[in-house]
Amino acid sequence: MYNLGGKVALVTGAAGAAGIGRAIALRLAQEGADVAVNDLGEGLGFRAGLPDVVREIEALGARSLAVYADVAQADQVERMVAETLDRFGRIDILVNNAGAPAGRDRVPVIDLAEEDFDLVQRVNVKGVFLCCRAVARHMLERGGGGTIINISSIAGKYGVARFAAYCASKFAVRGFTQALAQELGPQQITVYAICPGLIASERIDDMAAVLAPPGLDASAQREQMISTATHNSPLGRMTEQEDVAKVAAFLASDQSDFMTGASVNVDGGFHMD
């Protein structure tokens, strides 16, 4: 539908079986792109599904590659980009999807530990910066053109109690996206942010475990979060991974090429600006 044949994508944080990164990687492959997928290395990470995602992409007839790297470490990001270029020769689409684990940071600011705040900024903001820098340098060296998509959040547009570290990071991603879109526009490199609503990836299990008040277990908290998200959408359902994936495919295609700098909500109309 969006004809990404001949293009090469790199999607970070793609190891979750129910993750947004996996859904985006598969959708880009369905549209014809070859897709390198990244996550933290075994033993370090908290999602282990990268080999499965590679197999799923290959089953769609696309080429794929797993590249283990911490997006918040410059040397590892450089290696990730070099390995992708060695294998595929170019990167046309970068999707910065990796996100710090949701857990100890989901507390009131007065209880928020400095190291938990730092980890969220390190992965969600510095990681986006390092990956954008490395891939933008490559795109410029080969004469421009390309697309960068940064996964922000609806919590990057609206403050939410107990989400201060996360909101700060996701607001930052939108500002960074706009600045980079200004810088790279003249070279026809487009830069977008996507702001998804709540999605039932493994992440919300982690969130429910810390957000559950005394007397409510994590699964009941999870159900409550899902029910609220469902009822807040005029369309009557919560956001699904594929909703984000199809918007990513659109933004990666030439069908969206006059929208650079946009932050696109994908939350079923819960928020409308």
Give catalytic residues, as residue numbers.
166, 170
Residue of the chain from 37, 71, 80, 125 that contacts ligand NAD (CB under 6 A): 71
Tell whether residue 121 is a contact of ligand NAD (CB under 6 A). no
Tell whether residue 67 is a contact of ligand NAD (CB under 6 A). no
Q: Which range in 1-9, 183-191, 201-209, 252-260 contacts ligand NAD by CB under 6 A?
A: 201-209
Angle subtended at Cα 24 by Cα 99 and Cα 57, rounded to the nearest 5 degrees = 115
Task: Provide the edge-to-edge strand list for the sheet that holds 263-266.
Answer: 64-68, 34-39, 8-11, 93-96, 146-151, 189-196, 263-266
For residue 190, give Cα distances in angstroms to 73, 184, 238. 24, 7, 28
Tell whether residue 53 is a contact of ligand NAD (CB under 6 A). no
Segment 86 to 115, residues that bind ligand NAD, using CB under 6 A:
97-100
Residue of the chain from 47, 106, 157, 174 that contacts ligand NAD (CB under 6 A): 47
Residue 242 CB-density burial (10 A; 0-12 exposed, 13-18 middle, 19+ buried): middle
| 32 closest CA partner among 3, 55, 57, 10 | 3
Structure tokens at 273: 């600006």
CB count within 10 Å of CB 136 equals 21
- Residues 207-246, mask of contacts with ligand NAD (x by CB under 6 A): ----------------------------------------
The contact set with ligand NAD (CB under 6 A) reads 12-13, 15-16, 19-21, 38-40, 45-47, 70-72, 97-100, 123, 127, 151, 153, 196, 198-199, 201-204
